Amino acid sequence: MTATSPLMPTYVPSAVTFVRGRGTELWDAEGHRYLDFLCGLGVTSLGHAHPAMAEAVCAQVRTLEHVSNLFATEVGVEVARTLDRLLGGGGQVFFANSGAEANECALKLARKWGGRGRHVVISAYGSFHGRTLATLHATGQPAKHEAFQPLPEGFRHVAWCDLAALEAAIDPTVVAVLLEPVQGEGGVNPATPEYFQGVRRICDERRLLLMVDEIQTGLGRTGAWFGFQHFGIRPDVVTLAKALGNGMPIGACWARAEVAGTFVPGDHGTTYGGQPLATAAARAVLTTMEAEDAPARAAAAGRRLARGLQALPGVRSVRGIGLLLAAELAAGQSRPVVAEALTRGLVVNAVTSSAVRLAPPLLVSDDEIDEALAILAAVLPR
Ligand SMILES: *Cc1c(COP(=O)(O)O)cnc(C)c1O
């Protein structure tokens, strides 16, 4: 068989090639304009070609790109301080290059903290935590595991939002619980305050770490800085990526200082993680988000978008928090609707066979929301 593409066939070939973006807008190679209500899977939360981002990245590339973690740089320390402040303080940060790597750090940290024999991490069915061998096993979607067995040992899955199932899965080998505040890839399934508060109580009683995967939900997406803040709890470990770099690859694992302090030099590392180019992007993201009060903007825009979706004929229900939303359609409708929306200039994706995910930039305007709703109204089957 002759390969027709130089790329491995891990993704369905795309119908569109994008060449330029600005804010919520994208343009393809033919010059057609689109509204980006997906943000590269929750990444470009400040939109495309944000001036503060462009400025920061260009200036950093001219100044200092990379010296490795054998040497100190200033910008990474500053970003770690800001993240710690936003997370409530008292923690330390490890920088990685992606979400899966941020979770790998959390998993290794949990094992080091737990000690020999206490290493099992419980996560939920329907979760998504990454594609490396360990984070794939943490991902509670058994169908994704099959081709890659045997996967690293030490993972257990329980029903989502079911405290009794969690209690029943705990034995002396368990060290941590890893959860998303809203399951993103699993279909935009929000947790409840009761569930997260119950998990916090169980983790305290059984001396387990509560590790929250905020890779998709973090940094304003849900209308709060972090998704867990909707539930009135504090986690022990938080992982971030996606919006942190607005497209520049960066991930971060934050942990309470007593937990983080179980790592000693040599336990974990990365060549690129925390390098000035990525952290300069993250610094610009955080500064801009704070200046614009991006979480509040996302909350207000999310209310408008959810209300508008609810009113569309063909939409059965709307779920999600802030600007991480899914419109539930009839069975089998999401893929055709997504394809038709794309031809009319709206980028969204099918998160299940019946649900369309919407995750526009946090600074999306009311006019852009209304324009997206009009496109959806035109393509939804009645
Ligand atoms: C996207 C995602 C990941 C994986 O991030 P990568 O950067 O693709 O490795 C992990 N967890 C959640 C919740 C995600 O949404």
34/100 Cα distance (integer angstroms):
29
- Find the distance separating the first CA and the last CA of the chain, reported in whole Å: 43
- Going by alpha carbons, the residue nearest to atom 6 of ligand 1 is 99
User: Ligand 1 centre from 66 Cα, in Å?
Assistant: 24
CATH class of 18-37+293-379: alpha beta
- Residues with catalytic function: 128, 213, 242
Q: HSE (CB half, 13 Å, CA atoms) of 31?
A: 0
Can you give the pLDDT at residue 58?
A: 98
Q: Answer for the pair 326, 188: CB distance below 8 angstroms, yes or no.
A: yes
Q: What is the mean pLDDT of each run of 10 residues along the chain (382 residues)?
A: 82 93 98 98 98 98 95 96 98 98 98 97 98 98 97 98 98 98 97 98 98 98 98 98 98 98 98 97 98 98 98 97 98 98 98 98 98 98 84
Can you give the pLDDT at residue 382?
A: 77
Burial, 345: exposed, middle or buried (Cβ in 10 Å; 0-12, 13-18, 19+)?
Answer: middle
- Give span(s): CATH 3.40.640.10, the chain: 52-291
Q: Answer for the pair 211, 186: CB distance below 8 angstroms, yes or no.
A: no
Q: What residues are in contact with ligand 1 under a 6 Å CB criterion?
A: 98-100, 103, 128-130, 180, 184-185, 213, 215-216, 241
Can you give the pLDDT at residue 14?
A: 87
- Going by alpha carbons, the residue nearest to atom 10 of ligand 1 is 129
Closest atom of ligand 1 relative to the 127 alpha carbon: 13
Residue located via tokens 């990474």: 76
Can you give the pLDDT at residue 2?
A: 62
User: Ligand 1 centre from 103 Cα, in Å?
Assistant: 9
- Going by alpha carbons, the residue nearest to atom 5 of ligand 1 is 99
Is the pTM higher than 0.85? The answer reads yes
Q: Answer for the pair 166, 177: CB distance below 8 angstroms, yes or no.
A: yes
- Give span(s): CATH 3.90.1150.10, the chain: 18-37+293-379
User: Ligand 1 centre from 200 Cα, in Å?
Assistant: 23
- Going by alpha carbons, the residue nearest to atom 8 of ligand 1 is 99
Can you give the pLDDT at residue 202?
A: 98
Coil vs helix vs strand at 25: strand
Can you give the pLDDT at residue 1?
A: 53
Closest atom of ligand 1 relative to the 185 alpha carbon: 15
Sheet holding 91-96, edge to edge: 91-96, 251-256, 237-240, 209-213, 174-179, 120-124, 155-158
Can you give the pLDDT at residue 145?
A: 98
Can you give the pLDDT at residue 129?
A: 98
Can you give the pLDDT at residue 5?
A: 87
Can you give the pLDDT at residue 208?
A: 98
What's the CATH number of domain 52-291, 3.30.390.30, 3.40.640.10, 3.40.50.1000, 3.30.1440.10? 3.40.640.10
